[in-house]
Chains A and B, each alone.
Chain A
Amino acid sequence: MDATPRGLKILTWITVGLFALASYAVLVYAPREAVMGDVQRVFYFHVAAGWVGALAFLVAVIVGIAYLITKQRRWDTVGLASIEIGVVFTLINIVTGSVWARPIWNTWWTWDPRLVTATVMELVYVAYLMLRQGIDDPDRRARFGAVYAIIGFLSVPLTFLSIRIFRTIHPVVIGSNDPGAEGTFDMTAKMFQAFMFSLVTFTFIYATLLWHRIRLQHLADRVEQEKVRLLAG
């Protein structure tokens, strides 16, 4: 593989710096929440991870449409990379939500609409990664990936809206809260700053990982082409 581009090196170091600052912001700068205590600090990265998941799946839709229009394989590469990252961060979102829920709701898991829709969304995209493996023809695989990413995205707004349209105990960060929500809190100015900084930082993490993952896929494609060329020759 070619040497790492200078832009990627700079982006990677900026992201590492931002992540260190964001960790300081949520662990030290933001005050301890008056009722829930320290576990509330997980909220900042929990929401940011969920945001990266949704963003990654949205990018997969955009590049999926781009692939169907142009038939250029590079869009499929971006879609695959984006969904893989989305799956990792959605998993972080679900697991950290469970850790937060244990002391606040007194359970690791409950069949709440938000938890169920988020898990279904995660499984939809895990299935995408598994099903891709079963298709040998690259063009067919790319076409399948594009269509699946577009249809699978229906699970994202459903997850986002689940706490607004169903009766739920999950808190709503932005907008009005369900009276039955448990674990709600009012953000102070410092909490809000830490929250916004976490969102920006995780967006940088996504962009950095996406670039690295795309380069990895290019390398994998090159190895595959070399193998085919050797076998054909």
Chain B
Amino acid sequence: MLLQTAPADTTSYMLIGFALIFGAIGLYVLSLYVRSRNLKKDLAVLAEVEPRREGG
């Protein structure tokens, strides 16, 4: 970059960087949502099983 007069053209690397940042945060938020949804389903199934067991 010696004797350089204009900024280097590094826009593509910037786009990759921000895609990774937004992507990683988005994926983590999605994982929280999916795990929460699955646990709620489990809880609903367990609530269904209990009366059946009590009823014999």
- Which chain A residues have a beta carbon within 8 Å of chain B's beta carbons? 1, 27, 32-42, 45-46, 49, 85, 88, 91-92, 95-96, 99-100, 102-103, 205, 209, 212-213, 215-216, 219-220, 222-223, 226-227, 230, 233
Contact = CB atoms under 8 A, between A and B. Distances in A.
List the 10 shortest-distance A-B pairs measured between CB atoms, nearest first: A39-B10, A42-B17, A37-B7, A38-B14, A37-B10, A39-B13, A37-B8, A99-B17, A38-B11, A226-B46
Given A37-B11, A39-B14, A205 B39 contact: no
B39 A216 contact: yes
Interface string B4-47: 10011111011011101100110011001001100110110011
B51 to A, nearest CB: 11
Nearest to A102: B13
Contacts of A92: 20-21, 24-25
Contacts of B21: 42, 45, 49, 92, 96
A152 B36 CA distance: 29
Given A42-B17, A216-B32, A223 B7 contact: no
A35 B4 CA distance: 7
Contacts of A205: 25
A226 to B, nearest CB: 5
Contacts of A102: 13
Contacts, number: 101
Contact of B13 (A45, A99, A216): A99
A32 to B, nearest CB: 6
Contacts of A46: 17
A38 B10 CA distance: 6
A194 B11 CA distance: 18
B30 to A, nearest CB: 12
Given A35-B8, A223-B42, A230 B36 contact: no
Contact of B18 (A45, A222, A227): A45
A230 B50 contact: yes
B20 A222 contact: no
30 contacts: A1-B39, A35-B4, A37-B9, A37-B14, A38-B7, A38-B14, A40-B10, A42-B14, A42-B18, A45-B18, A45-B21, A88-B25, A88-B28, A91-B24, A92-B25, A95-B20, A96-B17, A99-B16, A100-B17, A209-B32, A213-B32, A216-B35, A219-B40, A219-B43, A220-B35, A220-B39, A222-B43, A223-B39, A226-B46, A230-B53
